[in-house]
Amino acid sequence: MAYIDWIQWPAMLATVVAAWLIGSQRPRRRMAGFWLFLVSNLLWVIWGLSSHAWALIVLQVCLCIMNFRGLKKNASAAASAAASAVASAAATTGTLSSVEAGTR
């Protein structure tokens, strides 16, 4: 087995872990999952080029586009979750900065 063939194993592992992460309720884990999916897309394309697996390469390009879409959508969700957590913490402690107080 050529060394390039070993790329499929980390690609597979990255794909499985990424799928696990994007199923999380936590925005940061979902974001990590999408980034890991992008790494796996790259690994699969490298392996596909060496194996002349053209359909796999086209699939990975399509999945990469969808992963960028997921990153974009989850980035706004992660920002909203972070802002909500700050507001929650401020409400719990009874303190608001002048910027936060002006937005309420």
**Cα 69 from Cα 89, distance rounded (Å):** 30
**Cα 63 from Cα 55, distance rounded (Å):** 12
Whether the per-residue pLDDT at 101 is higher than 60: the answer is: no
| Angle (nearest 5°) at CA 55 between 24 and 31 | 20
Mean pLDDT of 41-65: 97
Distance of CA 54 to the CA centre of its chain: 25
Whether the per-residue pLDDT at 19 is higher than 80: the answer is: yes
Helices 27-51 and 54-93, interaxial angle, to 10°?
170
